[in-house]
Amino acid sequence: MHYHLVGIGGISMSGLKKLLEEMGHKVTGSDLKFGGHKKENITSDIDVVVRTSAVNPGSPGWVEVEEAERLGIEIKKRSEVIGGITKDKKLITISGMHGKTTITSLIGLTLIGAGLDPTVLVGEKLREFDNDVVHIGKSDYFVLEACEYDRSFLDFYPDIAIINNIDLEHLDTYPGGVEEIVEAFSKFTANIKSNGTLILYGKDENLRKVADVAREDIKIIYYDESGVLGYDIKLPGAHNKINAAAALALSKSIEIDDGVIRNVLKTFNGAKRRLEYYGEAGGALVYDDYGHHPTEIKATIAALREKHPEKKLAVVFWPHQYKRIKPLLHQFAQAFSEADFVIIKPIFFVPGRDEKLEVESEDICAEIDKETVDAEVLTNDKEILEKLRTLSKDWVILTLGIPPVYKIAEELTGA
């Protein structure tokens, strides 16, 4: 079959492209990064047009979806296609608002290390996968990062489902807040195959609500950070102890030798943009992280404080999604309370996915100032770089937020 991927240059689509090509399908695509989106990209020989949840009316890629509709070509979401690929696999899914990528990576590497030869599809590039997001194995095992955004995970039918947490996130698709999110996760557990397994972080009250409505034939396993006492975990931070505990719970549930996961936990450096170390700039240590939610920001800053307790911390944050920033404004300020200096770039706007609300980066700064942390809004990267280059070996610099912000870390270190 001929698949056309709208937004083929994105992380999520690049893994699907490789999977489809491995299955023998023809794959074409379009992306803003090269050539852009136009209706001429949609030709009559295409069998299926695939879009992500980010491609909606008003977004640049929608013109191709409309052309596919006009030509009578089947249109599917990315999650629907992956759901079809995985329906007959021994599917292990990892969901939750935070920690998905790290847990998926740990589990995938553990199954590989155990000789189970899984296919693994993760949400960020791994060095262990030759800087790719997918590892293609030959067995029936499939380890999948299953995102809850736009309820995409409802297209998956796992044998084992791991849910790490529920938090106030993705408010553009869950306007009803936590109650609506819990309802969606509860619906997801109904997708677990007969006599399957549900693995949950036991200290999350909302996940306990999900467990309460799970089918009786589903085996429920709880984990928490105490499970990894005595294990050497290379990734810093309390949140990574929880992530490691999730991977350990899965490993035990399918009876993988303990030595295999011990080795993975002891050696795994993390996925790209997960507290990724870039090098030094004038003696200051430079890191980058994808964290974009207050819970993630707080955890990342705490991890750096744990790793470098003697140093000061400067953060460059590029926020996105007005629908996330406005209701969580105070939580964002609190998340930065352990930093010494914060630079905020203007909120990144995504056409077709977000709408501008009455909140700006200046409002984040004003709230951070209340936490007695110096903060300012800077738009120009040159100005940001000049300010950061004045910092000495007494500092750690963290770039944080949507992907383009890592270019500041690259520029600082020459990486």
DSSP class of 98: S
Q: In what order do the strands lie in the sheet with 48-51?
A: 26-30, 2-6, 48-51, 74-77
pLDDT band at 372 (very low <50, low <70, confident <90, very high): confident
Is 198 within 8 Å of 222 (Cβ atoms)?
no
Q: Is the pLDDT of residue 355 over 70?
A: no
- Say yes or no: 184 and 141 in one domain: yes
**Secondary structure (3-state) at 302:** helix
pLDDT at residue 111, as a whole number: 99
Q: Specify the pairing of strand 219-223 against strand 276-281.
A: unpaired
Q: Write the pLDDT tens digit of every residue in 28-70.
A: 999 988 888 999 999 999 999 999 888 888 888 999 999 999 9
Q: Identify the CATH number of the domain in which residue 47 sits.
A: 3.40.50.720
Rounded alpha-carbon distances, angstroms, from residue 127 to 130, 132, 134, 289: 5, 7, 11, 16
Measured CA to CA, the distance from residue 53 to residue 61 in angstroms comes to 11
Range with the lowest mean pLDDT among 189-193, 329-333, 368-372, 373-377? Answer: 368-372
Query: Are 92 and 159 in contact, with CB atoms under 8 Å apart?
Result: yes
Domain that includes residue 91, residue range:
87-267
- pLDDT tens, 108-137? 999 999 999 999 999 999 999 998 999 999
Question: 138-195 pLDDT, tens per residue?
Answer: 999 999 999 998 899 999 999 999 999 999 888 788 989 999 999 999 999 999 999 9
Within a domain: 222 = yes
* pLDDT for res 354: 55
User: Per residue in 305-336, is it b (16+ CB within 10 Å) or e — as a string?
Assistant: beeeeebebbbbbbbbbbbbbeebeeebbbbb
Nearest to 347 by CA among 319, 324, 366: 319
* CATH number of the CATH domain containing 181: 3.40.1190.10
Note whether 254 and 133 are same-domain residues. yes
Strands 132-135 and 119-126: antiparallel
Which of residues 219, 239, 267 is at a domain's end? Answer: 267
* Boundary-marking domain end, from 207, 238, 267: 267
CB atoms within 10 A of CB 241: 19
Which of 231, 249, 267 delimits the end of a domain?
267
For the chain, the residue count is 415
pLDDT value at 208 more than 90: yes
Domain count for the chain, please give it. 3
Residues 55 and 98 in one domain: no
DSSP type of residue 349: P
The residue among 202 and 330 whose pLDDT is bigger is 202
User: Based on the domain organization, do 35 and 115 belong to the same domain?
Assistant: no
Are residues 365 and 392 both part of a single domain?
yes
Task: Report how far apart the first and last C-alpha atoms of the chain are (Å, whole number).
Answer: 40
pLDDT at 87 over 80: yes
Res 98 pLDDT > 80: yes
Mean pLDDT of the chain: 93
In the predicted model, is pLDDT for residue 350 greater than 70? no
> Rounded to whole angstroms, what are the CA distances from 178 to 182, 191, 274, 370, 375?
6, 20, 25, 27, 30
The reply to whether 46 falls in a domain is yes
Q: Distance (Å, rounded) from C-alpha 329 to C-alpha 335? A: 10
Band of residue 359 on the pLDDT scale cut at 50, 70, 90: confident
The verdict on 181 and 312 lying in the same domain is no
In a domain, 82, yes or no: no
In sign, the C-alpha dihedral spanning 30, 34, 35, 38 is positive
Q: How far apart, in Å, are the Cα atoms of 319 and each of 166, 279, 297, 360, 402?
A: 21, 24, 11, 10, 7
Cβ–Cβ under 8 Å, residues 206 and 178: yes
Look up residue 225 and give its DSSP letter. G
One-letter amino acid for residue 57 of the chain: P
Q: How far apart are CA 31 and CA 10, in angstroms?
A: 8
pLDDT digits (tens, 9 = 90+) for 236-291: 899 999 999 999 999 999 999 999 999 999 999 988 888 899 999 999 999 999 98
